[in-house]
Amino acid sequence: MSTSLLIQKGRIVDPSQNIDEVLDLLIENGKIQKIAKNISAGEVEIFDARGKIVAPGFIDLHVHFREPGFEHKETILTGMRSAAMGGFTAVCCMPNTEPAMDEPGTVGFVLLKAKEGNLIRVYPIGAATRGREGKVMTEIGHLKKAGVIAISDDGEPIYDAYMMRRVMEYAHMFGLKVIDHCEDKNLSQQGVMNEGYMSTLLGLTGIPSVAEEVMVMRDILMSQYTQIPVHLAHLSTRGSVDLVRWAKAKGLPVTAETAPHYFSLSDEEMTSYRTEFKMNPPLRTREDVKAIQEGLKDGTLDAIATDHAPHQEVEKEVEFDMAPFGIIGLETSVGLGLNHLVHPGILTLSKWIDKMSCRPAQILNLPGGNLRVGENGDVTILDLGKEWSVGEIPFESKSKNSPFREIKLKGKAVGTIVGGRVVMRDGEVISKIKDQKSK
């Protein structure tokens, strides 16, 4: 079998090198060998990319693959298949598994499963505190040796400010960044959606935007005091965007991500108590959606992560108050980004790719995020004009909890290439391991 892949005549868009041109790209032995016009190679596998976009492989900073502990929702393998289908060549797995990824054995298990699955790159994120309970710091040094690429208690904030400070300082010694889920749980109480007109109308308990914003501000101040970088997960409010903008203007080492649902949906869509719309942070107002788009446009928000959070249908077919938070996102992220950011002209194609690939790699110091010669041959191929109905294509994820199942999108990932190997082509995941999906 050939170890070389020639991606022919695609429009290569690599923001890291300011490339936007129709070129060929040659990958040999897993690494990018050459980018040029009309590359002639010997016996190589050809990927015809005419009319397509060739981008550095997309990296998702924030997914939940649920294994170990919740394999009925997702496994590492089904999560990887879902990522490959969505055009992601690498993902960062949050530690809210059972047991939590708070010791090297669990990290090793995840990496082993990822290696067995052999599709895309999986980077585990270690828990900041044991059991993610916010009480005792994990052995971050050991976790680093085991392979974690960042630290977080995601799903939970690092609630205690003293603990946050110490985790930041300690993790920084090992070159690991802390990713915080910004939520003041005293303010969010038992809230299930955004607090505002819609929660008043529906009689559901609201989570005020300030519950997110006070923690964003705390983390910014902590970063200012310690001069240590911090990364803020899944921001959803105008206030958060304003605070991060302020922090960046002061030159603080703060980075932030948002998720596709926060720039494409508002709480006004939640008229029917459908639990597919229940997530944390919750869908905010139209004004917040606009602010998130503005934050992406002016660079306040660095990256787009999916916060892919699979739950089985039976878990979501319950009372709104009882349903778990979260939606899947890996297979709709590209379409939503193109439809809500690129096609309407909010972001250029290059800027959007920057937030899907280059910036995520830079934020967590990961390989990839560019198509430079000598780098890993991780590539995402996009068809900007491909129209598709989300619900008509069965998800590769084990779960279906998406509020986007009834919509049509224009634009899709049609190729995912990891280390020069095509793992998804034209909507088909290419894997030797059979799907373990339980139907």
Partner 1 sequence: MKWNRKHLLGLEDLSQEEIEYILKTAESFKDISIRPIKKVPALRGKTIATVFFEPSTRTRTSFELAAKRLSADTLSITAIASSVVKGESLKDTVRNLEALKVDCMIVRHECSGVPHLISRYLEASVVNAGDGSHEHPTQALVDLFTILEKKKTLEGLKVVIVGDILHSRVARSNIFGMTKLRMNVQVVGPRTLIPKEIERLGVSVSHRLDDVIPEADVLMFLRIQSERQKKNLFPSLREYSENYGMSIQRLKNTKPDCLIMHPGPINRGIELASEVADGPQSVILDQVTNGLAVRMAVLFLVAGGGE
Answer yes or no whether residue 322 interacts with partner 1 by CB under 8 A. yes
C-alpha to C-alpha distance for 439 and 429, rounded to whole angstroms: 18
Cβ 6 to partner 1, closest distance in Å? Answer: 51
Tell me the closest approach of the beta carbon of residue 321 to partner 1, in angstroms: 4
Catalytic residue from among 60, 154, 307, 354: 307
Number of neighbours of residue 393 by Cβ within 10 angstroms: 12
Q: Is 136 in the site for partner 1 (CB under 8 A)?
A: no
Selected range binding partner 1 among 104-112, 318-326, 372-380, 385-393, rule: CB under 8 A: 318-326
199 lines the binding site for partner 1 (CB under 8 A) = yes
Which helix (H) or strand (E) segment holds residue 79: the answer is helix 76-86
> Is the distance from CB of 12 to CB of 54 less than 8 angstroms?
yes
Based on the shown chain and the rule CB under 8 A, indicate whether residue 39 belongs to the binding site for partner 1.
Answer: no
Task: State in angstroms the smallest separation of the CB of 215 from partner 1.
Answer: 20
CA distance 64 to 43: 40
Q: How many residues bind partner 1 (CB under 8 A)?
A: 20
Question: Could you say which of 50, 317, 374, 439 contacts partner 1 (CB under 8 A)?
Answer: 317
Q: Which of 31-67 are b and which e, b meaning 16 or more Cβ less than 10 Å from the residue's Cβ?
A: ebbebeeebebeebbebebeebbbbbbbbbbbbbbbb
* Separation CA 40–CA 21 (nearest Å): 18
DSSP string, 165-217: HHHHHHHHHTT-EEEE----HHHHTT--EESSHHHHHHTPPEE-HHHHHHHHH
Task: Find, among 430, 403, 433, the residue nearest to 415 by Cα.
Answer: 430
The residue behind tokens 């459908």 is: 274
Site string for partner 1, 274-313 (x = CB under 8 A): ----------------------------------------
Does 183 engage in binding with partner 1 (CB under 8 A)? no
Nearer to partner 1, 196 or 260 (CB): 196
> Is 307 among the catalytic positions?
yes
Minimum CB distance to partner 1, residue 277 (Å): 11
Question: Nearer Cβ to partner 1, position 76 or 193?
Answer: 193
Q: Contact between 195 and partner 1 (CB under 8 A)?
A: yes
Return residues touching partner 1 (CB under 8 A). 195-197, 199-206, 272-273, 314, 317-322
Q: Which residues are catalytic?
A: 307
